[in-house]
């Protein structure tokens, strides 16, 4: 099964200098870009092709293809800060003279392009910054458009496994994040905007927030329920009863609140004591395999430890320390807490989190691989017990669909609410995110285009949905990951039930213990 991904955007910015300081917002090629604290002016775009652009004023055009290369190199070297201005100025005087001779009534034009994957230190100035933060990715950044199925197909049942919505950190992590204040006075060299953002930053976290559902998580659950109900109205004609709809969650407060919000949004009534999985129910309770969620677990896996000690991660520590103007490197522990603050606040708000400013895109990608390594071996293909972990919940789905093929009456909807290990182990059972080469601490460069990316598989509110259809006289199944329909290798969206059953029955027989 293959899941589609959203590509990182290419952002092209055109600015020119004007006498007065001003801010601008320009929508270009569908993306909004903000540049601040520069003397700038936006010009009309006539045409964009390859790495060349034509800008015009009063009907007279000037091609800036050669200048593009110089501007881009200067950006890579200096970014947008005070050190770059003298160099920009030298080039500007030349262009101003050229533009005057061409009767172009402008002072100058600057062209820069920010390509996906390029390392840049001015994260704060881009309105669409990097947002793929592993298991703390915002759901809307990777979710799809839901189900579209042929009119001759009738849905008989929907089965869903869902992770809780966006949450707060654990008490353990809250204490660490709240201690970031001490680094404010250590910073000696940073651009004005970043410095201001960090100086103005204040943690509002308290220990009472411990892993609770955050307001964005509430909205994620509400909207998910509303969309699912609107896309499968045939299954939600009746009000809730315990026979027509089955619900179950783990015993954690964030999952219980998630399931309650989802239920209320779907049925317009408050739930009463929805079932909670017992420790012996291995469909949701994975403690037998020592599974814990996120920052509740400090235990590190061998490949994760090795990569943390590698030159890649240590280069992140060095870059962050240098970005803050420190003479000595921070510890990895300190840098990782800054990264956690960045990730959490990105998930909670549309504002640009202060601590994200000390990282580059390269840093985000390296630290992202570190997290992917962790979950690959904890709850994914690198865990030798993955089939045993994922088998009980897989069997539940197959057994429910099998009953319908025998003419038995089953519930219209079955909904489970759990955690990261639940989503990742079920994803592995379905073959989602499987690479030909295992993730290792030594093959980061070769795995940049890997399929196993927790940002896409397990964001907040992650869900795996299977819908069982009757299409004329045949049974078929449609799967989705975060509302992205999973297509087969031959690009089909509807899978033959016979093939699904034949594929999974041997796995269930082998790995599902009574």
pLDDT digits (tens, 9 = 90+) for 164-186: 999 999 999 999 999 999 999 89
- Position 57 scores a pLDDT of 29
Q: Any idea how long the chain is?
A: 514
Question: How many other CB atoms are there within 10 angstroms of residue 50's CB atom?
Answer: 7
Note every long-range contact of 225-229, with CB atoms under 8 Å and residues 24 or more positions apart, other chains counting. Answer: 225/261, 225/262, 225/263, 225/265, 225/266, 226/265, 226/266, 227/146, 227/483, 228/146, 228/158, 228/160, 228/266, 228/465, 229/266
The pair of structure tokens assigned to 38 is 């520069």
Phi, psi of 231 (to 5 degrees): -85, -20
Which residues in the chain land under pLDDT 50? 3-128
- Position 13 scores a pLDDT of 40
Determine contact, residues 503/513, Cβ cutoff 8 Å.
Answer: no
Tell me how far CA of residue 54 lies from CA of 51, 61, 62, 77, 184, in angstroms: 10, 6, 6, 25, 44
- CA proximity to 240, closest of 209, 213, 264: 264
- Position 450 scores a pLDDT of 96
- Position 106 scores a pLDDT of 30
- Position 488 scores a pLDDT of 78
Q: Which sequence spans correspond to the domains of the chain?
A: 11-116, 134-511
Note every long-range contact of 302-310, with CB atoms under 8 Å and residues 24 or more positions apart, other chains counting. Answer: 302/377, 303/373, 303/376, 303/377, 303/382, 303/439, 303/440, 303/441, 304/370, 304/373, 304/374, 304/377, 304/441, 306/441, 306/442, 307/369, 307/370, 307/373, 307/441, 307/444, 308/332, 308/370, 310/441, 310/444
**How far apart are the C-alpha atoms of 478 and 487, rounded to whole Å?**
9
The pair of structure tokens assigned to 451 is 């399929």
CA 237 to mean position of chain CA atoms: 34
Tell me how far CA of residue 467 lies from CA of 2, 95, 264, 343, 460, in angstroms: 17, 61, 21, 33, 22
Determine contact, residues 6/492, Cβ cutoff 8 Å.
Answer: no
- Position 119 scores a pLDDT of 28
**Tokens 């220990």 — which residue?**
207
**How far apart are the C-alpha atoms of 208 and 185, rounded to whole Å?**
28
Question: What is the pTM assigned to this prediction?
Answer: 0.76
**How far apart are the C-alpha atoms of 246 and 415, rounded to whole Å?**
6
E strand or H helix at 464, and its extent? strand 463-471
Question: How many other CB atoms are there within 10 angstroms of residue 51's CB atom?
Answer: 12
Is 137 strand, coil or helix?
Answer: coil
- Position 287 scores a pLDDT of 83
The domain 134-511: what is its CATH number? Answer: 3.40.50.1240
- Position 407 scores a pLDDT of 92
Determine contact, residues 231/190, Cβ cutoff 8 Å.
Answer: no
List beta partners, residue 279: none
Q: Which residues contact 74 (CB under 8 A, 6 or more apart)?
A: 84, 87, 88, 91
- CA proximity to 504, closest of 411, 429, 401, 425: 429
- CA proximity to 421, closest of 283, 286, 278: 286
Q: What is the 8-class DSSP label of residue 276?
A: B
- Position 209 scores a pLDDT of 97
Helices (H), 129-243: 171-178, 192-200, 215-231
- Position 386 scores a pLDDT of 95
Is 188 strand, coil or helix?
Answer: coil
Determine contact, residues 419/413, Cβ cutoff 8 Å.
Answer: no
């Amino acid at each position: 099964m293959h899941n589609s991904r959203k590509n990182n955007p290419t952002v092209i910015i055109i600015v020119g200098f004007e006498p007065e300081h001003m801010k601008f917002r320009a929508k270009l090629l569908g993306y909004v870009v903000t540049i601040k604290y520069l003397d700038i002016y936006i010009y009309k775009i006539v045409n964009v092709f390859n790495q060349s652009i034509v800008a015009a004023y009063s009907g007279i055009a000037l091609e800036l293809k050669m200048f593009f290369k110089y501007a881009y190199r200067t950006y890579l070297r200096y970014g947008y800060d005070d050190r770059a201005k003298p160099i920009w100025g030298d080039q500007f005087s030349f262009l101003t003279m050229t533009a005057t001779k061409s009767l172009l009534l402008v002072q100058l034009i600057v062209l820069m392009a920010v390509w996906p994957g390029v390392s840049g230190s001015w994260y704060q100035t881009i309105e669409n910054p990097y947002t793929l933060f592993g298991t703390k990715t915002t759901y809307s950044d990777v979710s799809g458009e839901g189900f579209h199925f042929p009119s001759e197909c009738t849905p008989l049942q929907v089965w869903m496994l869902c992770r809780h919505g966006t949450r707060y950190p654990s008490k353990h992590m809250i204490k660490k994040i709240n201690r970031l204040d001490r680094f404010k006075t250590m910073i000696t060299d940073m651009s004005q905007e970043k410095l201001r953002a960090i100086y103005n930053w204040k943690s509002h976290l308290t220990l009472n927030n411990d892993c609770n559902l955050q307001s964005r998580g509430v909205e994620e659950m509400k909207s998910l329920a509303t969309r699912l109900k609107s896309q499968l109205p045939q299954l939600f004609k009746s009000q809730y009863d315990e026979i027509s709809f089955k619900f179950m969650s783990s015993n954690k407060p964030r999952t219980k609140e998630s399931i309650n919000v989802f239920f209320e949004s779907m049925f317009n009534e408050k739930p009463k004591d929805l079932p909670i999985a017992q420790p012996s129910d291995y469909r949701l309770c994975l403690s037998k395999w020592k599974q814990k969620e996120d920052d509740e677990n400090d235990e590190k896996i061998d490949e994760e430890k090795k990569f943390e000690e590698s030159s890649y991660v240590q280069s992140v520590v060095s870059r962050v320390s240098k970005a803050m103007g420190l003479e000595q490197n921070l510890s990895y522990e300190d840098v990782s807490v800054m990264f956690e603050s960045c990730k959490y606040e990105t998930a909670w708000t549309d504002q640009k989190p202060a601590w994200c400013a000390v990282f580059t895109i390269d840093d985000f990608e390296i630290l992202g691989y570190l997290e992917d390594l962790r979950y690959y071996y904890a709850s994914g293909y690198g865990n030798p017990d993955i089939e045993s972990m994922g088998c009980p919940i897989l069997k539940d789905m197959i057994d429910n669909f099998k009953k319908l093929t025998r003419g038995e009456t089953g519930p219209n909807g079955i909904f489970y609410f759990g955690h990261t290990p639940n989503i990742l182990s079920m994803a592995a059972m379905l073959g989602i995110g499987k690479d030909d080469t295992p993730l290792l601490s030594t093959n980061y460069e070769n795995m940049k285009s890997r399929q196993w990316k927790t940002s896409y598989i397990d964001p907040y509110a992650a869900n795996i949905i299977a819908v069982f259809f009757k299409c004329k006289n045949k049974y078929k199944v449609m799967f989705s990951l975060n509302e992205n329909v999973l297509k087969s290798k031959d690009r089909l969206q509807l899978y033959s039930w016979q093939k699904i059953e034949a594929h999974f029955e041997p796995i269930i027989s082998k790995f599902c213990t009574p």
